[in-house]
Amino acid sequence: MYLDRFRLDGKIALITGGNRGIGLATARAMAEAGARCMLSARSETDDSRALVAEGHAFTAGDITDPATPDALVAATLEEFGRLDILVNNAGVADGGAFHDFDDDRLARIMDTNLIAPFRVARAAVRPMLAQGAGSIVNIGSISGFVANKPQLQVAYNSSKAAIHQMTTVMAFEYAGRGIRVNALAPGYIRTRMAEGGMDHPEMSKVWADNTPMGRFGTPEEMASCALFLASDAASYVTGATLVADGGYITH
């Protein structure tokens, strides 16, 4: 009975940034749980093509293009006829001293990490309202809670804090209309976004030393969290930000 609540049989999931890392791992987890997935990213990878070969779908798009969010949802509805789950995963990271952080870099961070997820969620909510049910998982970060070290990244951290707040207020707005909205805040995870720091001996040591569990997480561990939040196992959970960071923000 309880394990069945983690199943997603008959559900349709749209996953942005679904061609690698946390997005791809989440698509695999949801597919294993019975969902059919629409993956989206700028381009396909061999791994995303493998999922498509198993009966899922892929649509390419630049998430920062204002037309893309509506197009992604439209493609999902055309392919599968409905949309039950959105995993708002696409994002970028950039850092540098605050006083030197120029407007172009600021715009890239905010357009990708905040404005685009806002637009995707806005587009996804509409069919969810029509069917009276849905689940949205926004991918935030521990960076939305803390100042990371040794890297300097005011813009990135601000964008992720905004995602957490967006999640809270969306959850409040739609809780009575059948739509749950939660966020996942990963710590340091072995993805392409973090691999530069993890390959750097000094930075890697600082990150690991500040993680009480003493290791980095994996995309698969984050996918398990996203699966929980999207599934009926979390049916009474909305407005939550689940931190999965090996204890990083405990001190």
pLDDT digits (tens, 9 = 90+) for 55-80: 999 999 999 999 999 999 999 999 99
Residue 161, domain member (yes or no): yes
Tell whether 248 is covered by a domain.
no
The confidence score (pLDDT) of residue 194 equals 65
Decide if 10 contacts 17 (C-beta within 8 A).
no
Q: What is the pTM of this model?
A: 0.95
What are the CB-based long-range contacts (under 8 Å, 24+) for 31-37?
31/56, 33/6, 33/7, 33/8, 33/9, 33/227, 33/231, 34/7, 34/8, 34/9, 34/10, 35/8, 35/9, 35/11, 35/84, 35/85, 36/11, 36/12, 36/80, 37/12, 37/13
User: Which pLDDT belongs to residue 174?
Assistant: 98
d(CA 22, CA 41) in angstroms, rounded, equals 13
Nearest to 185 by CA among 166, 204, 152, 161: 161
**247 belongs to a structural domain:** no
Whole-angstrom distance, CA of residue 177 vs CA of residue 191: 35
Q: For residue 238, give the CATH number of its domain.
A: 3.40.50.720
Asked, for residue 250, whether it belongs to a domain, the answer is no
Residue 156 annotated among the catalytic residues of the structure: yes
Whether 249 maps to a domain, the answer reads: no
Question: What's the pLDDT score for residue 144?
Answer: 97
Q: Is residue 176 part of a domain?
A: yes
What's residue 196's pLDDT? 66
Q: Let me know if residue 160 belongs to a domain.
A: yes
Using only C-alpha atoms, the chain has a radius of gyration, in whole angstroms, of 17
Per-residue model confidence (pLDDT) at position 199: 74
Domain that holds residue 77: 2-242
Q: Which residues in the chain show pLDDT less than 70?
A: 194-197, 200
Residue 162 lies in a domain: yes
Which is catalytic among the residues 2, 156, 188, 248?
156
Domain tally for the chain? 1
